[in-house]
Each structure stands twice: as structure tokens, then as C-alpha cells.
Amino acid sequence: MEEIVEIGKISSRGQIAVPADIRRKMKLKEGQKVLFVLGDDTLLVKKIMPETFAQITQPLREAAKKTDMEESNVPDMIHRFRKKKRQ
């Protein structure tokens, strides 16, 4: 992705306007959510993709099918893992 450098300004209410070139490049629309990540003196703003929970967890469900794991087994697995970790 090409690098775009823009300067913004924070309003008295703490709002930041995303420059038009960046909004277009990122395909950001009004009302879309973004994620803010702060590290030292760097603020990262990341676009949140509109994936549903079902889409995000699909690979996990497919992996569970391959191992014949069932949802009812999960609590016992968690308890065993926590017990092992404490030892």
C-alpha cells in the first residue's frame, strides 16, 4: 500500500477528522467503526472489517469438526488446562 502522510487537527471535543484522501483509500464510510491502538507516542487507527461473528469463528468450527470436539467438552478442557497451568 502506498504511504499517505497527512496532518489532522483535534477539535475542542477531542474529535479527529480523517483526511479525505485517506478515507477514500481506506474506503471508510460515515458511521464505520475504527480501532485505536496506543503504543508509546504512536497512535494507530485501524479499520474494523464488517465480518460477522459466524465468519470470524468459521475456521475454529472447521478445526473442531476435524478433531470430533463438541461444545459440551469445552468446560472440562478449560478446567484441565487451568489446573495443569497452576502446577
Say what the pTM is. Answer: 0.52
* The pLDDT of residue 60 is above 90: no
Same domain, yes or no: 45 and 5: yes
pLDDT, position 51: 78
* The pLDDT of residue 50 is above 80: no
Same domain, yes or no: 3 and 33: yes
* The pLDDT of residue 56 is above 70: yes
H or E stretch including 61? helix 53-66
8: domain range? 1-49
Residue among 21, 11, 22, 14 at smallest CA distance from 45: 22
Same domain, yes or no: 82 and 59: yes
Same domain, yes or no: 42 and 60: no
Same domain, yes or no: 60 and 41: no
pLDDT, position 1: 65
Same domain, yes or no: 17 and 57: no
pLDDT, position 38: 93
CA-to-CA distance for 69 and 62, rounded, in angstroms? Answer: 10
Q: What is the mean pLDDT of the chain?
A: 87
